Amino acid sequence: MNWRRLGDVGLWAGLSFLVLAESGARGDPYWMQAAFIATLFVAVFVRRRWPLVALAAVAWAEIVVLAFALGTQNGVQVALVPAITLMSYLAGRRETQLKHFVMVCSWSLLGGLLLALVVQREQHATEAVLSWLVMLLLALLLVVLPWLVGRYRAQQALLASAGWDRAERIEREQRMAIDQERLRERSRIAQDMHDSVGHELSLIALRAAALELDPSLPDEHRQAATSLREAAATATDRLGEIIGVLRDSDAPTVPRDESVPSLIERAAESGLEVRLIEEGDGELSPMVDRAVHRIVQESLTNASKHAPGAAVTVTVTRADDDVRVQIVDTGAQRPVQSVPSSGRGLDGLRERVRLVGGTLTAGPRSGGGFEVVATMPRAGGRPEPEAPPMSAAEAERATVRRSARRGLVTAVAAPLILGAAVGVVALGYYLIAGYNSILHPGQYDALTIGQPEDDVEKVLPAMQMIDPPSEGYTAPAGWSCRYYSPDVPFSITYVYRLCFADGKLVAKTVVQSGSVVPTPESTG
């Protein structure tokens, strides 16, 4: 059983029931009911493939009904409104393009206005325009708002499917880049270890060679010194082989004996404005000493690349238990040239500092420039627990959620703002027409039955009332009746009706428009 088709039939049956119930109560012709049901059939069964076609079908069915029903005693067919709202929502769920949706709505509204003006020719244009503005306001609430809500729901569905795949791919790429930089930094540490341990093994070999040549030692002692020298040389070779395997050939190294002051001096000779401040004294463990050197080296490299012309201050503070390294620059003083950069140097520094039990922070300064601060125990320590990397997937989820929330706000706020704007326009139009359709009581009293229409036109206001009272009055054949208000809008309880025939004024009547019956005092 095709459950999708069964659902379509159920939806069509539900919408058709609403139409039949209303049309049957109104006594609409059978051909009209059949046309509505056929339109709903087409809309329901093409809504997935052509959602805007489905929306246009039911919308135009309602527009045709409105064009023929406005200004008559037949009433307005509203059973199609739920179908219009539903098709608009489904069009949004199908992610139809905004320009196509706006085009369908614009042409439908414009076509509805033109059709109403053609069909209801006897109706005054001002009344038709006001009715159209009301229809526009309803369209914002019943068509635009559901479409925007559908778009919001479509974004949520995208968030739950393809969005996560993309976010997880970004996260994997970011983690791979960070891991690669950490491996590069560990290869630098391996080279530093090779230089340091190899130097000590070389000293052991030299001392063993001296003992081997000392004539005052017995032969067995000199033979032991020979074995010790050979073992130290073998250990040096094995260490070189192991470090060679671990070391990344692309990871740059620095001279083993280069100190921070020598590094600062070399940077200053290359043109970088840098000064060194050292506070405290005392030796550092080899790993910590190399970490300090590496932090200063990377920071100076970054400053020369990304902050040309900046003044850099390096402060190394040795306390009793730890050492603090601070590198601060004043920011770029010249245009920054495009330079190749992996953007992962700070990740490598964080890994080196973590391996000696320290912490590192880096970021822009509030007053301008950039700052790097690292704190490490002087004797080294156990590596700090590795902090979990920032999840790019979580960041992507948060971004999409924010976008979805903005879409929801737009879905609610946009129709309200547009509705308010249309309401203001409609109210302004109503007031303009109201103030331009005032026939003062004195002018009304001066009019006489049989007076030529051309003479009457000279005292009549520029516009007629756009909302005359619905008194159910039917003018005789050949008569043309107009309505005018005696006072400003919202303050009248009666209006004037003037009827013309054969170019003459044939009737003038005071018509009640409110709950208060007109009195001679109010009409005099």
pLDDT for 338 equals: 57
> Distance from first CA to last CA of the chain, Å, rounded?
77
H-type helices in 307-449, by residue range? 345-355, 392-435, 441-446
pLDDT for 521 equals: 44
pLDDT tens digits for range 308-356: 888 999 999 998 889 999 999 988 877 766 555 555 677 778 888 888 8
Q: How many CB atoms lie within 10 A of CB 98?
A: 12
DSSP 185: H
pLDDT band at 253 (very low <50, low <70, confident <90, very high): very low
pLDDT for 145 equals: 78
Cα 7 from chain centroid (whole Å): 34
DSSP 518: P
pLDDT tens digits for range 81-99: 788 888 888 888 776 677 7
What is the β-pairing status of strands 273-279 and 311-318?
parallel
Under 8 Å between Cβ of 109 and 139? yes
Of the spans 48-52, 177-181, 371-375, which averages the highest pLDDT? 371-375
- Nearest Cα neighbor of 288 from 385, 388, 389, 383 is 383
H-type helices in 213-259, by residue range? 219-246
Q: Any residues with CB less than 8 A from the CB of 63 and at least 6 apart, and which?
A: 108, 111, 112, 115
* Integer Cα distance of 229 and 201 in angstroms: 9
pLDDT for 297 equals: 85
Lowest mean pLDDT among 8-17, 389-398, 416-425, 465-474: 389-398
pLDDT for 51 equals: 83
Q: Any residues with CB less than 8 A from the CB of 231 and at least 6 apart, and which?
A: none
DSSP element (H, E) containing 301: helix 286-306
pLDDT (mean) for 103-121: 75
Counting Cβ atoms within 10 Å, is residue 143 exposed (0-12), middle (13-18) or buried (19+)?
buried
pLDDT band at 428 (very low <50, low <70, confident <90, very high): confident
Mean of per-residue pLDDT scores for the chain: 76
DSSP 141: I
pLDDT at 479 over 80: yes
* Phi/psi at 200 (5° precision): -65, -40
pLDDT tens digits for range 444-462: 989 999 999 999 998 999 8
Q: Any residues with CB less than 8 A from the CB of 317 and at least 6 apart, and which?
A: 278, 279, 280, 323, 324, 325, 326
SS3 (DSSP) at 63: helix
pLDDT for 371 equals: 93
pTM reported for the whole predicted model: 0.38
pLDDT band at 520 (very low <50, low <70, confident <90, very high): very low
pLDDT band at 5 (very low <50, low <70, confident <90, very high): confident
Radius of gyration of the chain (CA): 44
DSSP 324: E
Under 8 Å between Cβ of 58 and 65? no
